[in-house]
């Protein structure tokens, strides 16, 4: 059986807008292992831990970083930049 039908366009709610400063979402810091400059061995790095629920649209931050939420964890590595979009997605790119 095959069904065909029209559905309404799904609209994802936008989150509160904020500036680039994401420091309001930092809940702690921790030591975490990251590879630096293509080294063979990882190094312990003081790393901010962000609460994803506290991000605002437009927030940006550089790795290393750990982003926690109730059901998952996102890692932003050294040399990466993260930007929070209008609906709360975290866009991770290489830093310029």
* Residue 6 predicted with pLDDT over 90: no
Exposed e or buried b per residue across 8-28, where buried means at least 16 C-beta atoms within 10 angstroms of its C-beta: eeeeeeebeebeeebeebeee
Band of residue 84 on the pLDDT scale cut at 50, 70, 90? very high
Q: Which of 13-22, 39-48, 54-63 has the lowest mean pLDDT?
A: 39-48
Average pLDDT, the chain: 94
In this predicted structure, the answer to whether residue 4 has a pLDDT above a threshold of 80 is yes
pTM: 0.86
pLDDT at position 18 over 80: yes
């Amino acid at each position: 059986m095959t069904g065909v039908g029209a559905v309404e366009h799904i609209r994802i709610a936008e989150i509160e807008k904020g500036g680039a400063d994401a420091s309001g979402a930092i809940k702690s810091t921790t030591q975490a292992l990251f590879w630096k400059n293509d080294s063979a061995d990882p190094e312990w790095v003081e790393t901010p831990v962000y609460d994803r629920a506290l991000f605002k649209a437009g927030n940006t931050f550089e790795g290393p970083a750990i982003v926690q939420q109730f059901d998952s964890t996102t890692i932003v590595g050294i040399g990466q930049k993260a930007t929070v979009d209008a609906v709360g997605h975290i866009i991770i790119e290489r830093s310029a």
